[in-house]
Amino acid sequence: MAAHSLLLTLNAGSSSVKFAVYATTDGLPLLAAGQVEGLGTCTTFSVTSAGASRSDHSVQLGHGVAGHAEAVHVILRWLEQAHAGIRVAVVSHRVVHGGIDHRVPVLIDDALVADLERLVPLAPLHQPHNLAGIRAARMAFPVAPQIACFDTSFHRNHSFVADTFALPRSFYDEGVRRYGFHGLSYEFMARRLRAYDPVLAHGRVIVAHLGNGASMCAMREGRSVASTMGFSALDGLPMGTRCGQLDPGVVLYLMTEKGMDAAAIAQLLYQQAGLKGMSGLSHDVRELQSSDSPAARDALAYFAYRGRREIGGLAASLGGLDALVLTGGIGENAAAVRAAMLGGMDWMGIQIDPEANQHNATVISLPASRVTVVVFRTDEERMLAEHAAELVGL
């Protein structure tokens, strides 16, 4: 690789594209990070240089950016201007679903893209956008290696009982099984906790990735053993617009009694449910917390209640609990949500320090708490960069 070259990461979500730019020198120093958000509505492009406390480049794009491919082109135009003459040596992409076969990051080629297309029905909110980003980046940088890093990879070594459903075995064999998601975030948290406290990281740990998408992962010795998300990114915790755990009989009822087809049900469960559906107001926890609406309070209470249930279930799968790690936009910043979710859990060894929690301290548990509760910022982009550097030999 040339001495003056860049590593670009692309992380395409449901309504945004996040990116980061790293120098391809020792340690992969971060140069800048940003995002195009609000796709299809009021779109904003913003970039923050490394070391800056806030965005140093922000542009309102209005309604001119309708999709993820256009968003990637906005990023590429900025890259050409901000780093003119410096070539992009490698591009690393977050891909939500890797299916049964993809357990490690891989180089992207036409065959892989075709294979990932088959998985679109399993992650319709994310996979098409991941693929749009891949196509745009391959056209922009036809010579640079492109790397796919899968959100499902971290969970691929679960036991049979942790991955199966109680259906005929033939369904499991053809791929109807629990996959788990948010794997890049969980992998980063495993490395972060190991650097922070190797003994704790070696034990029984639950990581809660709480954001617009929310899930939890049980780890032992830094490896995933169970996840709240299953066959799709709908299962487990309620989320910003997704339902979380749902009796499948509800889907049958919607079909037979309400006359809803698959497309209408998918729209409901992925886009109109969760905190947004329950509150009738917003998917944003900050808006719900500032509202005096009873429905908003109920939505937040349900989120906290389901979180407690999932923590209890994952702790049972681990045979106990040594540490709980909170991350994601809600996990890192919403002290009131953390207090509601973790309050009254002394019975399982979780005792929260109200003052530390209110100030978003790293450790928010009391010294006497049997379970250490920490708050870490996740960094999926750094994980993407490290995987790409390892794969291409930077």
Tell me if 41 is assigned to some domain. yes
Q: According to the model, what pLDDT value does residue 65 have? A: 65
Domain co-membership, 19 together with 134? yes
Number of domains in the chain: 2
Task: Say how far apart CA 33 and CA 155 lie, in whole Å.
Answer: 27
Q: List the domain range (segments joined by +) for residue 16.
A: 5-150
Tell me if 173 is assigned to some domain. no
Task: Say how far apart CA 384 and CA 150 lie, in whole Å.
Answer: 9
Tell me if 63 is assigned to some domain. yes
Sheet of 372-375: strand order equals: 223-227, 214-220, 204-210, 323-327, 372-375
Tell me if 252 is assigned to some domain. yes
Tell me if 392 is assigned to some domain. no
pLDDT tens per residue across all 394 residues of the chain: 444 799 999 998 767 889 999 999 999 999 999 999 877 778 889 999 988 877 777 777 766 666 777 888 889 889 988 888 889 999 999 999 999 989 999 999 999 999 999 999 888 878 988 998 899 899 989 999 999 999 999 999 999 999 999 999 999 999 999 999 999 999 999 999 999 999 999 999 999 999 999 999 999 999 999 999 999 999 999 999 999 999 999 999 999 999 999 999 999 999 999 999 999 999 999 999 999 999 999 999 999 999 999 999 999 999 999 999 999 999 999 999 999 999 999 999 999 999 999 999 999 999 999 999 999 999 999 999 999 999 998 8
Which has the closest alpha carbon to 191: 178, 205, 181? 205
Domain co-membership, 146 together with 212? no
Tell me if 302 is assigned to some domain. yes
The whole-model pTM stands at 0.93
Q: Domain end: 130, 150, 170, which one?
A: 150
Domain co-membership, 224 together with 337? yes
Phi–psi pair at 286, nearest 5 degrees: -65, -40
Amino acid at 234: L
Tell me if 193 is assigned to some domain. no
Helix runs in the chain, H state only = 68-82, 110-117, 127-140, 160-163, 169-173, 183-196, 198-201, 248-256, 262-271, 274-279, 285-290, 294-318, 328-333, 335-342, 354-358, 380-392
CA 80, 92, 181, 260 dihedral sign is positive
Q: For residue 29, give both structure tokens.
A: 């120093």
Q: For residue 394, give both structure tokens.
A: 């930077």
Name residue, tokens 């609406």. Answer: 293
Domain co-membership, 80 together with 222? no
Which has the closest alpha carbon to 165: 70, 230, 244, 85? 230
Catalytic residue among 101, 151, 247, 322: 151
Q: According to the model, what pLDDT value does residue 1 have? A: 42
Residue 145: other Cβ atoms inside 10 A: 15
Which has the closest alpha carbon to 10: 90, 82, 123? 90
Active site residue 322: no
3-state secondary structure of 61: strand
Task: Say how far apart CA 148 and CA 115 lie, in whole Å.
Answer: 12
Angle CA 108–175–191, to nearest 5: 55
Domain co-membership, 323 together with 261? yes
Q: According to the model, what pLDDT value does residue 363 have? A: 98
Domain co-membership, 137 together with 52? yes
Task: Say how far apart CA 142 and CA 284 lie, in whole Å.
Answer: 38
Domain co-membership, 243 together with 304? yes
Domain co-membership, 143 together with 205? no
Q: Domain end: 93, 116, 150, which one?
A: 150
DSSP code of 322?
S
> What CATH number corresponds to the domain at position 133?
3.30.420.40
Domain co-membership, 207 together with 98? no
Domain co-membership, 17 together with 80? yes
Q: According to the model, what pLDDT value does residue 321 have? A: 98
From the number of C-beta atoms within 10 Å of its C-beta (0-12, 13-18, 19+), residue 223 rates as: middle
Domain co-membership, 31 together with 107? yes
Q: How many CA atoms lie within 13 A of 119 on its CB side?
A: 28
Tell me if 179 is assigned to some domain. no
